[in-house]
Structure 1
Amino acid sequence: MANQKEAQLYNTSDDKEIIALLAGLNTGDDADLFESSMNELKGLAKAAGMKVCAMITQNSPSVNQATLVGSGKVEEIKARIGYDDADIVIFNSTLTPMQIRNLERALDREVIDKTALILQIFSERARTREALLQVEYARLEYMLPRLSHMRSGLTRQGGASGSKSSKGAGEKKLELDRRHIEHRLAELRRELKEMDKERATQREKRLSSPFPKIALAGYTNAGKSTLMNHLLGITGSSDEDKLVMEKDMLFATLDTSVRKISPQGHRTFLLSDTVGFIDDLPTSLVKAFRSTLEEIKYADLILEVIDYSDPDHRRHIEVTDSTLNEIGAGTVPKIYVYNKGDIADRIELPFVRDNNIYMSAKNDTGMEELLSLIDKVLAEDETQVSLMIPYKRGDIFSRINDSCKVTSSKYLEDGIEVTAFLRKADQNRYKEYLLS
């Protein structure tokens, strides 16, 4: 089904280094905000394995409906393509199929937008079957309205006047491809629905676990994976198979990972890492990854990781919080982890204020303070209660000892009387053993 153009769009694995020219239109955003978005586009291009040769921008109060930017700017881009021998032009704004078609005709180069670039990165980074299916679904949803552009080289009309069909080979091919994509989307929906059921079963097992559930969330490349690996390291669980990939790159990891963290002197918890957020994350990707992202709303606590060294980190917090609200995780308690404080060099590390911690995961600076803050925030949901545990339920006694703060244990004739601080979820789980 995929033609050569589609293969180019989603495959950059050949030996030739792809040279990309970046273009952007600012219709009134703050100059610093627009510059930041262009730099982010540059980071995305590099994450896709491309070499950026230049960035060309235009300030205009309105959008050119035919080519997004004005005709003079199109000529400037064309001249720069010739100078740098660029292979592809990537626009920071979402392009309509007509704009892509017109720009490719004018520039004689492949043209994509930020959404297509992110889809390409996700296609290359997905590893688990669920992530692969989610990305394929998002990619096909993106392609469907753009089929006419992708088949622009085919004959659109044909046949003699009055014949039973006046459709040309190209139009027939378009309809076949549209049906093929719609059929595949239906298949993917069914498969992903089945995986949602499996995910729900796994989630129930985790929810029945005595250990608190903590989720890492944040803007892409804020250092979530680094934080997880260093937490594993200080708890003596840094086996190669347990570590997650960490790299100074946008969307280095996509697949959700869950690890048990058992730090000495602190409570044990389950820690999950999720895909990073980004401004204007394609709607199709949010929709496709919704079931994965929604794992966050079942957490007892969110560690929102922020790249404190990024001048635009406040906007990143806004984007992350907005996405968390969108997926129903806005009310989950949060700790704001201002990471990479060693690079920012604006404050003495570690520094803790309320539910905010400034630290450096890479240098293990502030890890002990973070664990203490986690203990403190989780304890806010706890109440001291007394339970009578029958001797035959030693497993429950062990769970409470492992996951809760136990203040006393008495071995009596009827069982073990335990006084401990329990979360509301644990009180419900062990309600039959609670003493009034």
Structure 2
Amino acid sequence: MRYAIRAAFFDFPARLADPAQASGHARYIEEGVLLIDHGKIVQLLEWEERTQVPDWEEYEYLDLRGKIIFPGFIDTHIHFPQIGMVGSWGEQLLEWLEEYTFPAEIDYQDRAFATEMAAKFLDQCLENGTTTALIFGSVHEGSTDALFEAAEHREMRIIAGKVMMDRFVPDALCEKVAESYQQTKNLIERWHNKGRLSYALTPRFAPTSTPELLAAVGRLKREYPDVWLQTHLSENPQEIAWVRELFPDQQDYLSVYHHYGLTGPRSVFAHCLHLEEAEWQCLARSDSAISFCPTSNLFLGSGLFNLRKAHQHNVKIGMGTDIGAGTSFSLLRTLSEAYKVQQLQHYALTVAEAFYHATLGGAVSLSLDDKIGNFLPGKEADFIVIDCAVTPLQTLRQARCRDIWERLFVLMTLGDERNIRQTWVNGRCAFQRHNN
């Protein structure tokens, strides 16, 4: 339970007021040692400073020279019941939900099936270097129990919730408001703040929520003020037009959620591609966060997220794979797509900013930066061991890199799950890749 791990290390020691300036605030230790004691970080030192550790002999020494260790990746938007329909062809958001998503989620009424899929889902997260995730469940109470049980077994830090929806969905997925409220309350009582587990109120999005359901979500948020809230916002122009029809008394899409008290420091809104100025201002005032999901946005043809605008309004940003509209659990692949999305808008996303959003920035967006996101003493020991050259092309390209920034940019643009050699959760190795 006590380890001294020798490798190179990369993190951000402090949260950033302006992520666009991340390059000047990163910490890279080429020859370092990380001390871990019973799941917590004791210290990150330069290798030559190890002589200052009085109880050095009590640590199990692990030599991982040649690898770079990062804080664990944080996925701020992902759907547990969509793992089986990733890569479904040919539709945009609303049609895609009807054709693929809702039929897939009906299967999760079977608790045994949900238990099997929860194991596969979380193992995919670990294999891809994701140690913390904000997760949409299905509408079923039992399947959400199965997800929490699987995460508890793996000692993962997750925030999750059963989806709440009471209209415009198949009968097999449609709830009554009282039923949705009570089942959500049951799950909060069972799982919220149990070890490393937390609960997120999860209304799917405004179109599948009657005013009565949104009022019930707001009631739960008042009753349990330390829970999180996650939902979708402004992903698709058709969706936005539909929200205007369904809620004609509200100024804009975000106003629907704000009206029912659903914005705030622990509220995370996925996508946010077509926001109006008033919505940006509301997100900033309420200290709400956005999950940027580039692979999903490109796959469904939804639009391009304006990262520069988020910086201008000082809105917190995390990265989301958005499985299953997103096509990979890998946050390395997700960051690569994020770079391309910003290039199309003439914003040159630096590799430092990208990794900030995937690590400490993600923790900030989830209000978890006191627990995870970097290698400060006392933080939970969630981290990933990365090999930057696991393919012939990566090996060739890495050999020609001039500095650490170029090495990390090549990792980000050419890398994938194969680069994740180990994933550590709560101070233990939870995944190890034995070959490519």
TM over 0.5: no
Greater per-residue strand proportion: 2
Q: Higher Cα Rg: structure 1 or 2?
A: 1
> How high is the TM-score relative to the length of structure 2?
0.25
